[in-house]
Amino acid sequence: MTTLTTPTGVRLAKVFTGRQRYVPVLATATVLVLMWIGASLYFPAFGDLQVLLNVFKDNAFLLVLAVGMTFVILSGGIDLSVGSVLALSTMLCAWLVETHGWSPGVVIPLVMVIGALGGSGMGAIIHYFEVPPFIATLAGMFLARGLCYVISTDAISITHPFFTDTANTMVPLGDYRIDPSVVLSLIVVAIAFVTLHYTRFGRNVYAIGGSEQSALLMGLPVAATKVAVYAVSGLCAASAGVLYAFYTSAGYSNTGIGMELDAIAAVVIGGTLLTGGSGFVLGTVLGVLVFGVIQTITNFADLLSWWTRIVVGALLLLFIVLQRVIGARKT
């Protein structure tokens, strides 16, 4: 087979290679649409728009968590601490508001600052001490989970009017209703989208994920970017914890066990390469929706919750293979 070496051939090759990065996202969108159509045909009530809005509501905290994970994976890293940070955030909200009588207006920003500082600390350790992200964030996971148990081993109910009133508030959307947490999670998605695609910081994240050595040679601020990436992940994890506190009206030490894996799965199913450098935050939204639709289908079919894990695991393997195939075609 001959290789096109003319200027036109080179341009066509670049266009084809550029379009390849959209294949995983299009595959995710196709899977989501097919699942939705199939479920709507089998369960007529499934096609109601309120069901989709409820999917967003039940997974708003996971969406925020996965947005932060998208930044980390795009940079070529991983963050195993986010589930424990989410749990610590719920515990801090419940403990400070209910036990110590602090105002939610003070507690919520404080929790978010703690999450960002914890994430930046792990990012600094990863970069300056050259600790693998897996090990550093694993230590962060154990530390955050241990602090949860130090606060309390029992669940702490949140009865403050601000939390209960907000949890019971619904934003009207025509004939339908939408939870405030959905609005907040979509605002986070919008901010992440603009940051990744229209700012210098976003371009640096992609560059580091593509090749950290090349980014260093180009004079990009690799250290500051990596620290900021993990700070974003910690901030999103803490924010997800606040949303989860509204969702459950409680703080519990065992909350979020394994949720970091759900976030990673959603990001990968959404088309972000595990090796970094390629992916879209909107793909992560699709990945979370796929996760939520599978959960909803198992509820409609009255199946055990483990079927959600089985199907998500199969999809995850499928998308990892798809990524490898696309990567092989680029080389």
Any idea where the domains of the chain sit in the sequence? 24-330
Q: What's phi and psi for 152, nearest 5 deg?
A: -175, 145
User: Helices H, strands E: what count in the chain?
Assistant: 15, 4
Q: Which residues pair with 250 in a beta bridge?
A: 157
Task: Centre a 10 Å sphere on the Cβ of residue 329 and count the other Cβ atoms it contains.
Answer: 11
What pLDDT does residue 303 have?
A: 82
- Which H or E element spans position 178? strand 176-178
Buried b (16+ CB within 10 A) or exposed e, 244-265: bbbbbbbbbbebbeebbebbbb
Tell me if 100 sits within 8 A of 160, measured CB to CB: no
Compute φ and ψ for 258, nearest 5 degrees.
85, 0
Q: What is the pLDDT of residue 97?
A: 97
pLDDT score at 236:
98
16 vs 152: CA distance, rounded Å = 55
Residue type, 101: G
Q: Can you tell me whether residue 132 is helix, strand or coil? A: coil
Task: For the domain made up of 24-330, give the CATH fold.
Answer: ABC transporter involved in vitamin B12 uptake, BtuC (1.10.3470)
pLDDT reported for residue 213: 93
pTM, to two decimals:
0.91
What pLDDT score was predicted for residue 176?
A: 86
Question: Which ranges of the chain have pLDDT less than 50?
Answer: 1-17
Sort strands 250-251 and 171-173 into parallel, antiparallel or unpaired.
Answer: unpaired
Identity of residue 75: S
Per-residue confidence (pLDDT) for residue 9, from 0 to 100:
43
Identify the residue whose tokens are 């970017």: 225
Which structure tokens are listed for 232?
């974003």
| pLDDT given at position 294 | 93
User: Which residues sit opposite 173 in a β-bridge?
Assistant: 176
50 Cβ contact list (under 8 Å, min separation 6): 176, 177
Place of tokens 């894996």: 261
**What does the DSSP 8-state code read for residue 98?**
I
- Residue 259: closest CA among 85, 120, 72: 85
